[in-house]
Every structure is written in C-alpha cells, then in structure tokens.
Structure 1
Amino acid sequence: MKLKLLVCILSVVCLQSCRQESEVKTFFISHNAQQSHPVHQGIVKLQEVLEEKSNGKLVVKIFPDAQLGSEREVLELLQIGSVAIAKVSAATLSNFVPEYNVLAIPYVFRDKAHKFSVLEGSVGKEILEKGSDFWLRGLCYYDAGSRSFYTKTKAIRTPEDLKGLKIRVMNDQMSINMVNALGGSATPMAYGELYTAIQQGVVDGAENNAPSFVSSNHYEVSKYYTLDEHSSIPDVLVISTKWWDTLTEEEQQWLQEAADASAEAQKEYWRLSVLESMKIAKESGVEIIVPEKSLFAEKTESVLENFETDYPDLSPLVNRIKAVK
C-alpha cells in the first residue's frame, strides 16, 4: 500500500505540473470491480461523456480491480487529494460520512422504484453533499442491486430456516445485527476466503447480489439462493473536494452531467447483468427461492430501533425516506 500511495502522489505531482503547460486535467478514478462489471462499464461511460463535453480538457484514467487499494484505503487517498474519484459502497463510505448509514438499514426501501426515488431525489442529493464535510463529495449513485441469502445445503424459505446457520457478512455492525435478528449466526469474514469457507462448511452461506454471487463462483458451492432482498445498499461515485474545488463552475457542470449520464447507463448495465447472472445460476442447478419478504422485514425491525437509538440525529432522515412516494 505504501508503494501504491507513493506512486499516486508522484503521479499527481507530475499531473499538476503538466496541467500548467497543457491545461488538460486528468482524473484518476479507482474502483474494485472487474472490467466486465457494470461499475466499470458505467465509469467508461463517464469517461466518454466527460471528454466529449470538455472537448478533451478533462481526461479520465481508470484504475479497476482495486489497483490503488481497498475502498477504505482509496477513500483516504481521496481525502488528501492523491486520487480524484472513486466508486465505493455506501457501507464503506458510512465509516466516513454517518448519513450513508441510513441506506444500509434492512428494508428501508420498499422496492426498487422507491429506492431510486430516494436516491435521485432531494434526500439522496443531500446525503451526497454531506460528504463534502469530510472532503468526499458524492457525485451520483450506482445500482448495486439487492443483497439476498445463499446457502450450501439448506434452503432459506422463512426466517426460521436461518436458525443455527453461520452466515458470512461484511465486517459491518448493521449486517451483523440483521443476521442475528433473523436468528442466524453472523460471521464476519474476508470476501476472498468465502468460497473455500462455504465449500469446507466453515460457514453455511452468505448474502450478496446476483452478479456477485455468480462472478465470485459462489453458485458452484451454494445451491440455494433466496431472494429476500434484505438490503439495497448502493454504490457511490465520490470525488475529492481537493479536486472538485480546483474546477471552474463550467468544469464542475461537465463532470456532474457526465456522472449523471454514467449513473443512468450503469442502471441498464446492472439490469442486464442480473438477468445473465440469474440465468447462469439456474442453469447450474441453483434453486431460486422467492420468499414472503414481509416475514423477514418484521424480524429485522429491531435493527432499525437500535439504529435510531445509536444515531438519534439521523432518525429524521429515515422518516423522510419512508415518506418518499
């Protein structure tokens, strides 16, 4: 990581000196997805639109596959201005900007339409702007689908089926509380270790969206996928305010318009990716289960209650989300 940081800093210094001569501004954009992923495709769209709108004055250099570090490491690089833009999960961003925590509450969104009404409306934009207080200005949201349970040997049809099962979760208190509230045993674990852990029975299953379930090859060792859709945590495209503040109003407008165009395109890329992933899973013998989601939502109400106790200042934000039509 120290080598990556040094390379980034030296590159930025070089770019700053080059700008004085050429007036071309080059943005480093980092993300942790593969180049075939809808996230990368969305950022390529941003790259194309931005260079066209700016007539080549604003140029994008994309670093996929976590080349510049983990999401948390890259956010720290953004805060000091060594990287310009990054795509990160709202769950990771919540460690820096508390308001993003509300987007991870189980079943905070009624459905996909409600989710995008929130994210693309005044509430979502307000949360994006809150990041500026921490040098992390949000540009737009990317669709990351909904997370659902998948298991190796036992199908999850109701919350009761989770009792006694070890379920891998992100190292995030919200995720841990959710699984425990449903009766499972939340087991934080590095994502890279999960395939072997399921295969060897260290854990009984995990939870994630369909494209991740397939791209990780977890469908090979987990033959039940339950579409309970307990959380719909979006990805966020974030720019360092140290970069944003160097842009003219016109350049800021170009960048925001390019980000908005990329978000719209990425939603379609994501939709197609979900369809393809579900097809692969079914053809590989995975049983797709569509449960009664209200049963799971009822069991996770305590997670919201605990959240409002821990973050009383954010309760009004939760109520505003619920009120969005």
Structure 2
Amino acid sequence: MKKLFMLVLMIIVSVALLAGCGDSDSKTAGGDSGNGDSKQLKLAHNLGKDHPVNKALEKFADEVKEKTNGEVTIKIYPNGVLGSEKEVLEQVQSGAVDMTKVSAGALESFSKEYSVFSLPYIFESKDHYRKVMDSDVAQGIYQSTKDKGFVGLTYFDSGARSFYTKDTPIKTPDDLKGLKIRVMDSPTAIEMVKLMGGTPTPMPYGEIYTALQQGVVDGAESNPTALTTGKHGEVAKAFSKNEHTMIPDIAVISEKTWESLTKDQQKAFKEAAQDATKYHTEIWNKAIDQAVEEAKDMGVKFYDVDKEPFIEAVQPMYDEFKKDKDIAKIIDEIKSMK
C-alpha cells in the first residue's frame, strides 16, 4: 500500500508540473514571452512579402524591437492570411489584430477627413504630396478615427494612379465614355470616374485580372506596379499617365494597443514609423521605375496625357466638398503648401 501511495503521489506531481509547463507555453504562443513587461503585437496586411510596403513594415518591426530593448516585438502576417483589408481593419477595431496597413480610400467610411486624400489632383506634385503627408494636417487626420478604435501612425507612398485599358488609351475624359472602369470601393473614386465620363465599377483588387480578361471591365486605375505585380499588363496594354490621384497607404494601430504602450514605447513607435516611411520612399521609387520597364517588356505602351481637361471635369467635387467647413479648411491648408 505504501508503494502504491508513493506511485500515485508521483503521478499527481508529474501532472501538475506538466500543466504548469503547458500554461507557460500557451502564454508564449499568445505573444507573451513570460516577462510581464514584454508583449508581442500582430500586424497583418494584404500585400506580398516582396512588396515595398512589407519590407518597410519589417524595418519598422525590427526598429521597434531594438528601440524598446525587446519589450515590444511585432509579428507580421502578410499576403492577406488573416483576411482582406476590410476584414483585418475590423479585427484591429475588435482588438484581435494590433496593426494593419490600409489605403486612405478605404478609411473614408470611418472619417470624412480621409476623403480629402482621395480628391483628384489635390496634390500638385510628389514634393507637394510628401510635404502634406509630413505635416500637422496629416497628423490631425490620423487622429480622426480615435473614436472608431484605431489611429494612424504613418503613411506609405502608393504612387500616382492613372487609367489603364486593354488597348485604347485614355487621353481625354471623352475617351472614358461608355467604358466600365474598376475603382476601389470609395465614394470619392466612384464620383471621380462618373464626372470624367466613365462607368465606375467597384470590386476587390484580386478580381481585376479576370475582370479585364473576360471583359467585365474595360479598364482600371492604379499605379504601374499593378501591371507587373498584379500581372494586369498581360491583358491591359495601354497605360495613360493622367495621374489623377496620389492616395497614400496608412499604417494604423489599435487605440487600445496604443494606450497600453508606455510613453517611451510610443516614442519608439513614432520614430520607427518615420524611419520606415523614409526607407519605403527610397525603395518605392526604384520599384516604380522597375515596374515601368517590366511592363514595357510585356508590351504595355505608356501615353503622356494633358491633365487640364481631367482637372476641369472633377471641379464639381471640390465645390461639393467645400460645403463642409471643416473639409474646406483642410483643402485650403493643403493647397497652401504647394
């Protein structure tokens, strides 16, 4: 009986020890390294590992870890593995994901201020664009979604968006008449194409190739990398450089996560975000140049366009936007920076 009692006691102790180890492993898998002061955050987005934005986010994560002495680490989930852009943003709001990258166009439904970034020809040059995005005006817009559960942290250049079609170049707004053009699910983008004479057709980015191939749409609008990374240049052979918008990508962070950081950690995040943006700008310019050359090898022709007729066509949008005093003020501030 004594031996049996000792055997049972040993089994109980062993089970207790294993349970303790299991609890420790569970915490680590969930992002806690076991140190009560450390945390691992989730950052998810829908772009590929080789995309300049992902490379910039990797730099951001590395720098955050370094600047916080390992107190905060960030695990990146690229390629849409945690869901579409919209789905991941909803997860940021619920707290399931800490950070994501999202187009400013997709943020219009959360804050009217973000719609200003989608206005056609709001930015008169790349220098003007960067000056605005590095200003207090942009910082104010970043904070406009605080009550929605997230705030902006920094931006990434997404290039100038232009029209591309299967074979007919768009040199004037008249060339858009009767054409179905894929646009982002953005009220501003939809209204812009309407005013220019086309028929806007919102659809997810991943469906564009097949839609062009099957004639569901006649064209789309984006920057030149869509021709190569999205392979749209295999079916769309005319790229018209009217450069109607320069819509930034925005890195956003859960408001709850942000408030959980110490002041020093928040400072580290801001510094790392600024450095990531600078790095992205460098590699993005090279990526655009490379995309144009690769697209030409695919048989895509690039056409220069007189922008004035397009600017005149969308003037009613500015008249409508300026009916809102807050938006009018932002537009005037942006225009004053040119």
Using the size of structure 1 for normalisation, the TM-score is 0.91
2:90 maps to 1:76: yes
Helix, strand or coil at the partner of 1:32: coil
Deviations for 1:120-144, whole angstroms, at most 9, x for unmatched residues?
0111111112222322111101111
User: Which residue of structure 2 lines up, in the alignment, with residue 253 of structure 1?
Assistant: 267
Helix, strand or coil at the partner of 1:18: coil
2:213 to 195, 199, 220: 199
Conserved? CA contact 1:28–1:83, under 8 Å: yes
Helix, strand or coil at the partner of 1:187: strand
Q: Percent identity over the alignment?
A: 40
1:51 to 65, 71, 81: 65
Helix, strand or coil at the partner of 1:176: helix
C-alpha distance in structure 2 between counterparts of 1:324 and 1:276, whole Å: 30
The alpha-carbon distance between structure 1 residues 31 and 285, as it changes in their structure 2 partners (threshold 3 A), is: same
What RMSD, in angstroms, separates the aligned Cα atoms of the two structures? 1.9
Helix, strand or coil at the partner of 1:324: coil
C-alpha distance in structure 1 between counterparts of 2:167 and 2:40, whole Å: 50
2:285 maps to 1:280: no
User: Which residue of structure 1 lines up, in the alignment, with residue 132 of structure 2?
Assistant: 118
Helix, strand or coil at the partner of 1:174: helix
Conserved? CA contact 2:132–2:337, under 8 Å: yes
The alpha-carbon distance between structure 1 residues 276 and 12, as it changes in their structure 2 partners (threshold 3 A), is: farther
Deviations for 1:160-188, whole angstroms, at most 9, x for unmatched residues?
21122111112222111111111112122
The alpha-carbon distance between structure 1 residues 313 and 42, as it changes in their structure 2 partners (threshold 3 A), is: same
Conserved? CA contact 1:15–1:26, under 8 Å: no
1:1-325 pair list within 5 angstroms: 18=32, 21-309=35-323, 311-325=324-338
Conserved? CA contact 2:154–2:250, under 8 Å: yes
How far did 1:14 drift? 6.7
- Structure 2: which amino acid aligns with 1:316? K
How far did 1:312 drift? 4.5
How far did 1:12 drift? 11
Helix, strand or coil at the partner of 2:247: coil
Deviations for 1:103-125, whole angstroms, at most 9, x for unmatched residues?
00111111111111111011111
How far did 1:201 drift? 2.0
Instruction: State the number of aligned residues.
Output: 314
Q: Which moves more between the two structures, 50-59 or 275-284?
A: 50-59
Conserved? CA contact 2:233–2:295, under 8 Å: yes
Deviations for 1:285-318, whole angstroms, at most 9, x for unmatched residues?
1110111112211111122223334x44322111
Q: Which moves more between the two structures, 230-239 or 14-23?
A: 14-23
Conserved? CA contact 1:41–1:269, under 8 Å: no
Using the size of structure 2 for normalisation, the TM-score is 0.88
